[in-house]
Structure 1
Amino acid sequence: MSYVRLVNVTKRFGDVTAVDNLNYEIGKGECFSMLGPSGCGKTTTLRMVAGFEDLSDGEVWVGDRLLSSPKKNHYVPPEKRNFGMVFQAFAVWPHLSVYENVAFPLRIRKLDEKEIDQRTMDALKATNLVKAKDESPDFLSGGGKQRVALARALAINPDVMLLDEPLSSLDPHLREEMRFEIKDLQQKYGFSIIYVTHDQSEAMALSDRILVMKLGVVQQIDTPLNIYNNPANKFVFSFIGLSNFLSVKNDGSLVLPNHEGNIPQSFTLPERLVGEADLSLASRPSEIDFTTMEDPEGLHGVVTRKAFLGEIVDYQIKIGDQFMRVQKSRRDKGPEPGENCALHLLRPFWYAENE
């Protein structure tokens, strides 16, 4: 059952349409991520949901409550939406203790002191901050400051948690640790999450569903697995996971420009692309095997780089005048730089070059 609903939501800044006719629904207790490059409209959308930005058109609902509708001249201010908000910047006050940072929004709501203390301590326990409650946030690490921001959002018992790139300023180890803490808190308290990020690994790890945006327009909404396995277009393929693209000419037969090796006959086009002259052959670096030079299904190239990355070895392969990456386990014996090789693409995808 849908809980948060965006209906034909549009945002214009002068002649620029930042968000174009956006429609989606989020279930109660669902973690829903909005993923896309900088400037695609995801933060603007989150700010409209929060009430920090006016809509140019459309409506925002939570349950049976209408929150924003320009046509109906209806607007509920942010402080009355009961949303928890966690920003990219930690937004904690160094002159207040950790306890007072978390208690602050409850004091604004004029709750009695006993309830303020109960909610504050519950939020501090949930985020492992009880021992630091009397300290200034300035004495905490980046991860500690972000826990304070999470605790402050939790303390109001939010219907929905809005997170705007909350982990991007943390180092990689802390980012990984915090993403699982956020997921644990969501499962414990059952609130819905709208999570804005440009980091596809964060979105994949946290989300029940992902919305991929480009220039204010939805490209695909689906589960992380389906978006990875069945990307709707070339942009989604390129944005989710590592990707290779080879430009291919189609003049009745498929040709890789400036490539003298064979084009595997198994590389058949989907019906929707049969008439297209300029194509992209897409593949994942982890879904390519090395095969023998005699294999008729092999794509011939030469190794130009071999880099050891811990559990995997990353190869750069030159095919004609184009390049592909291949990633294999460090336990697999692969070719050395300068050697010829043949590649077997386990799961090739085809797109129009301009798609």
Structure 2
Amino acid sequence: MSYIRLNHITKRFGNVIAVNDLNLEIGKGECFSMLGPSGCGKTTTLRMVAGFEDIDEGEIWVGDRLMSSSKTNFYLPPEKRDFGMVFQAFAVWPHLTVYENVAFPLRLRKLPDSEIQQRTTDALKHTNLYSVADQSPIDLSGGGKQRVALARALAINPDVMLLDEPLSSLDPHLREEMRFEIKELQKKFEFSIIYVTHDQAEAMALSDRILVMRGGVVEQIDTPLNIYNNPANKFVFSFIGLSNFLKVQKQGDKIYPVGSEHALTMAVPDATFANTQEATLASRPAEIDFSDDGELYGVVKRRTYLGEITDYAITVGDQELRVQKNSRKPGPKLGENCRLKLLRPHWYSAE
């Protein structure tokens, strides 16, 4: 059952339509990520849910509470929406202790002292900050500062947590650690999460579902598995995971990679060349095998050892494909000819 509902949301900045007729439903307790390139509208959408931006058209509901409506000219300010919010900037107050950083929003709500103490202590314990409660946050690492921001958001007991690029300023190790901590907190407290990121690994690891946006428009909403394995279009394929795109052209009844003398022997969906003589063959680097009966003929241009995997650059005609294989398996050497078998090819008509 949907808990957060965005109905026909549109937001304009001058002549620019930042979000165009967005319809979205998010379940209670769901972790929902919005993913897309810079300027696609994902942060603007989050800010409209938070109340930092008003909507130009549509309505936003959380449960049975109306947040914003263009029809009735209703707008509930951010401080009355009771959402937990964590942003890219750590937003800690250096003149306050860690404890007071977490307690401060509760004091603004004029809660009883006993309740403030209980909520603050619980939030610090759940984020592993209780032992540094009396310290200044400026003495903490980047991950520690972001935990303070998380604890502050948890302390208000939110039903909805809004996170906008919260881990992008952390180093890779801390980012991965915090990713799992956020997921564990969500499981414990069962709040809904709307998570904005440009990091596809974060979105894949955290999310129950992912929205991929481009130019203020939804390209696909689905589970991480389905978005990766069954992308709705070429853009989604290119944005999620590593990708190869090989231009091909039809000559008579045969199909050739551009620049190659070797015709493809693989099956091609009929609709691919319905209105054109050109198309794109897409593949994932990890879903290509070296095989004596492979459909593509190539030459090894680069071979790079990366620990668990070996990364190959293979020239096919006058194009290049990236192939990644387990380093324990033998593969062709630099400069050698090879044949490639695509395990999960995707076809896209020429644009």
The TM-score, its normalising length taken from structure 2, stands at 0.98
CA distance in structure 1 between the partners assigned to 2:226 and 2:335 by the alignment:
37
Report the 3-state secondary structure (helix = DSSP H, G, I; strand = E; otherwise coil) of the residue aligned with 1:158.
coil
Contact 1:90–1:149 under 8 Å retained in 2: yes
Question: What does residue range 246-257 of structure 1 map to in structure 2 within 5 Å?
Answer: 246-252=246-252, 253-257=254-258
Are 1:279 and 2:279 matched, yes or no? yes
Q: Select between 243-252 and 157-166 the one with higher mean Cα deviation.
A: 243-252
Query: What is the CA-CA distance between 1:34 and the residue it aligns to?
Result: 0.2
Q: Note the alpha carbon deviations across 1:69-117, whole angstroms, 9 max, x for none.
A: 1221111110111100000111111111100110011011010111000
Partner of 2:261: 260
Partner of 1:169: 169
CA distance in structure 2 between the partners assigned to 1:19 and 1:273 by the alignment:
33
Report the 3-state secondary structure (helix = DSSP H, G, I; strand = E; otherwise coil) of the residue aligned with 1:122.
helix
- Aligned-partner residue type, residue 178 of structure 2: M
Partner of 2:235: 235
Report the 3-state secondary structure (helix = DSSP H, G, I; strand = E; otherwise coil) of the residue aligned with 1:241.
coil
Are 1:321 and 2:322 matched, yes or no? no
Report the 3-state secondary structure (helix = DSSP H, G, I; strand = E; otherwise coil) of the residue aligned with 1:163.
strand
Query: What is the CA-CA distance between 1:310 and the residue it aligns to?
Result: 1.3
Query: What is the CA-CA distance between 1:52 and the residue it aligns to?
Result: 0.0
Contact 2:314–2:321 under 8 Å retained in 1: yes
Query: What is the CA-CA distance between 1:271 and the residue it aligns to?
Result: 2.5
Partner of 1:336: 333
- Aligned-partner residue type, residue 257 of structure 2: L
Q: How many residues align?
A: 350
CA distance in structure 2 between the partners assigned to 1:256 and 1:99 by the alignment:
62
Partner of 2:304: 307
Report the 3-state secondary structure (helix = DSSP H, G, I; strand = E; otherwise coil) of the residue aligned with 1:286.
helix
Query: What is the CA-CA distance between 1:260 and the residue it aligns to?
Result: 1.7
Contact 1:299–1:343 under 8 Å retained in 2: yes
CA distance in structure 2 between the partners assigned to 1:247 and 1:212 by the alignment:
24
Query: What is the CA-CA distance between 1:269 and the residue it aligns to?
Result: 2.3
Q: Note the alpha carbon deviations across 1:228-263, whole angstroms, 9 max, x for none.
A: 110000000001110000011234432222112232
Partner of 1:130: 130
Contact 1:317–1:326 under 8 Å retained in 2: yes
- Aligned-partner residue type, residue 58 of structure 1: G
Contact 1:291–1:343 under 8 Å retained in 2: yes
Q: 1:251 to 1:12 in 2, by over 3 A?
A: farther
Unaligned runs of 5+ in 1: none
Query: What is the CA-CA distance between 1:279 and the residue it aligns to?
Result: 1.0
Are 1:77 and 2:74 matched, yes or no? no
Question: What does residue range 1-355 of structure 1 map to in structure 2 within 5 Å?
Answer: 1-252=1-252, 253-264=254-265, 266-271=266-271, 273-292=273-292, 295=293, 297-354=294-351
CA distance in structure 2 between the partners assigned to 1:164 and 1:110 by the alignment:
27
CA distance in structure 1 between the partners assigned to 2:63 and 2:258 by the alignment:
55
- Aligned-partner residue type, residue 255 of structure 2: L
CA distance in structure 1 between the partners assigned to 2:237 and 2:63 by the alignment:
33
Q: 1:200 to 1:275 in 2, by over 3 A?
A: same
Query: What is the CA-CA distance between 1:277 and the residue it aligns to?
Result: 2.6
Contact 1:273–1:351 under 8 Å retained in 2: no
CA distance in structure 1 between the partners assigned to 2:330 and 2:186 by the alignment:
43
Query: What is the CA-CA distance between 1:326 and the residue it aligns to?
Result: 0.4
CA distance in structure 2 between the partners assigned to 1:157 and 1:58 by the alignment:
28
- Aligned-partner residue type, residue 332 of structure 2: P
Query: What is the CA-CA distance between 1:40 and the residue it aligns to?
Result: 0.4
- Aligned-partner residue type, residue 101 of structure 2: N
CA distance in structure 1 between the partners assigned to 2:277 and 2:18 by the alignment:
33
- Aligned-partner residue type, residue 263 of structure 2: N
> Runs ≥4 in structure 1, deviation > 6 angstroms?
none
CA distance in structure 2 between the partners assigned to 1:138 and 1:215 by the alignment:
38
CA distance in structure 2 between the partners assigned to 1:21 and 1:250 by the alignment:
38
Contact 1:33–1:194 under 8 Å retained in 2: yes
Report the 3-state secondary structure (helix = DSSP H, G, I; strand = E; otherwise coil) of the residue aligned with 1:181.
helix
CA distance in structure 1 between the partners assigned to 2:234 and 2:243 by the alignment:
10
Report the 3-state secondary structure (helix = DSSP H, G, I; strand = E; otherwise coil) of the residue aligned with 1:102.
helix
Report the 3-state secondary structure (helix = DSSP H, G, I; strand = E; otherwise coil) of the residue aligned with 2:131.
helix
Query: What is the Cα-based RMSD across aligned positions, in Å?
Result: 1.0
Give me the identity figure in percent: 71
CA distance in structure 2 between the partners assigned to 1:24 and 1:170 by the alignment:
30
Q: 1:65 to 1:206 in 2, by over 3 A?
A: same
